[in-house]
Amino acid sequence: MSANGSETPLSVTIGYGPSAVIAVKPILPTKCKAVGTTSGQQSLSIVWTREKQDAIDADLSSFFRLAETQAATMAEKYGNKPDYYLRLMFSGGMTMQRAREPSAFNAWAHNLAKEVNEDADTGDALNLLDLQREHLDEYHKLSAAEKKELVESFKEERNSRKMGTRVNLRGRQADANNTFNKIEDMIIGLKCRVGIDGFYCFFKNNSEFQMRPRWFFTSPQLNHYLMGQIKWWDVEAIGALSEAFSITGCDLMSYLCNARARSDWVKTEIRDKITAALIKITENQKAIMHYKSYEKDIVLNYGIELVGWPDSLRFACPSDLPTTLEPLQNLLQAIDNGKCYFCRLSKSERAQRRGAHQQKVAEGSVLTRQPRSDNGKKCAPYQRHKQVDPEADQEEGGTDAPPRKWRRHRDHDNNEEYSR
């Protein structure tokens, strides 16, 4: 808040996600026939997996040592530090590549493999390349309309895989953990490449999915700093409150205690949205909505008019409107739907409104602001006040000394006067 009472613009950028996400189709778990394995086979598989992972770690370690050696060699050759060349080698983070647009051939091959291998046992599925070679003539016989239909069907299935709701709890948990890990990897990589710090908090929005609020800080010291600087900073309390509010549908009305609090909140929303619409149409960030002098300061000054105000409510400042909730909600809904909005007046309409307003002012039916009592009079020149010498004040007793008493004396006309 600035000195003159106006709100200062935010120095940060805040982004919001969509208010609702429509799922195309739920993702059904893949139907696979279980393959029975003995305990001996499981033990051998575990041992083989560990040996494979140890071999991978050894190869990666040798690769990292080679990279450090190469970076040191390049530093001696070109003059920069070894860390500079290591950053060039390893950019960090993950790259989110845009998915390719599906082609008719890929869509046809996908449907072919799904139809042929639908009832196949594990390990008996036919190779995709072999299927394409055997049924290639069927693809060339397809018409353009059939190919287009295959592409649209493939796009719909891909979107359902991306946005569809998972029906089993284990799939939801695995999907959430994988997504969080990818986000954290990307944030850490961006921190290495660009130089950023931050945190996030994710929580569930329904009671069917069991997950605790998840926080992530790029630096542990950031959380400790916020705990010392912000009063009542508690990640557990913030996560729990956010989760409870999200489960209720992010509806503020359900958290307000009484009808008066709900109506005050709706009035605040109406006032803020009308002011935002006024600033948008006038392109003036300092524009203020005037309700009492609406005709003079809004219609005639800016050449605009607010249309769509409900007939059930008198036109006034939202704070002066009655506390009945239904008409206030109707007005707020009209503003959100675009039925109540500002529109510009033409030159002829503006001149007509100006003439009608001047006639009402002359008749006295419109209350106008009274002029100042000294309007039109010549004012005396401004005189500066005499500055007090602090040294003289200290000689008389210091700044902390009490003021001298007023003394009464009489002049020649026996009029009482007071002086120090």
User: Helix, strand or coil for residue 202?
Assistant: strand
* Boundary residue ending a domain (250, 279, 305): 250
Claim to verify: residue 301 and residue 210 sit in the same structural domain: no
**pLDDT recorded at residue 2:** 47
What pLDDT is recorded for position 202? 94
How high is the mean pLDDT in each 10-residue block of the chain (420 residues)?
Answer: 48 53 59 69 87 90 89 89 80 56 85 79 74 86 89 82 73 88 88 88 89 91 90 90 87 79 92 94 93 92 93 91 91 94 94 91 80 80 70 55 61 51
Distance CA 270, CA 412 (A): 69
Within-domain flag for 189: yes
Q: What confidence score (pLDDT) does residue 3 get? A: 46
Do 326 and 356 sit in the same domain of this protein?
yes
Residue 399 in tokens: 């700044």
Residues 277 and 318 in one domain: yes
Q: Do 288 and 359 belong to one domain?
A: yes
Is 211 in the same domain as 275? no
Which residue range(s) make up the domain with 62? 57-90
Note whether 238 and 319 are same-domain residues.
no
Alpha carbon separation from 116 to 62, 102, 107, 152 (Å, rounded):
44, 21, 14, 21
- Residue 204 sits in the same domain as residue 234: yes
The answer as to whether 370 is a domain residue is no
Residue 316 DSSP label: S
Are residue 159 and residue 176 in the same domain, yes or no?
no
Is 400 contained in some domain?
no
Statement to judge: residues 238 and 293 lie in one domain: no
* pTM for the model: 0.53
The pLDDT value recorded for residue 216 is 93
Q: Structurally, how many domains does the chain consist of?
A: 4
User: Rg for the chain (alpha carbons), in Å?
Assistant: 38
Long-range CB pairs of 32-37, under 8 A, 24+ apart, other chains included? 32/122, 33/121, 33/122, 35/122, 35/123
Q: Are residues 244 and 300 in the same domain?
A: no
Contacts with 168 (C-beta within 8 Å, 6 or more apart), sequence order? 29
Query: Pick from 342, 337, 330, 328: which is nearest to 274 by CA?
Result: 342
pLDDT digits (tens, 9 = 90+) for 239-271: 999 998 888 888 777 777 788 888 999 999 999
Q: Which residues contact 342 (CB under 8 A, 6 or more apart)?
A: 277, 278, 281, 304, 305, 306, 307
Q: CA nearest 99: which of 159, 150, 152?
A: 159
Any domain includes 372: no
